[in-house]
Amino acid sequence: MAYEFEGVQYGKLRDMQEARRTRYVQLLEEGLNFTQAAHAVGVSKRTGKVWRNGRTRSNGRNERPL
């Protein structure tokens, strides 16, 4: 199954998600606010917050912030 983001095809979901996170950071650097940047890449503002701040999973392992 192929995944697509901004007209680019990705073979793996993880690759597409990484491209979305990278684009999210670029949009923040360009001056968009958190909500605008999240919606521009197709995620919720809560997901954008997790990407910015990281999160602790239920198993106790931390996910790195951007």
Q: How many separate domains does the chain show?
A: 1
- Residue 21: domain span: 3-63
Q: pLDDT tens digits, residue range 5-64? A: 999 999 999 999 999 999 999 999 999 999 999 999 999 999 998 888 876 666 666 666
d(CA 28, CA 7): 21
The pLDDT value recorded for residue 1 is 73
The pLDDT value recorded for residue 54 is 76
Burial of 43 (0-12, 13-18, 19+ CB in 10 A): middle
The pLDDT value recorded for residue 8 is 92
- How far is CA 51 from each of CA 2, 18, 37, 38, 40, rounded to the nearest angstrom? 23, 11, 12, 10, 15
d(CA 50, CA 66): 9
The pLDDT value recorded for residue 62 is 64
Query: Is 0.85 topped by the overall pTM?
Result: no
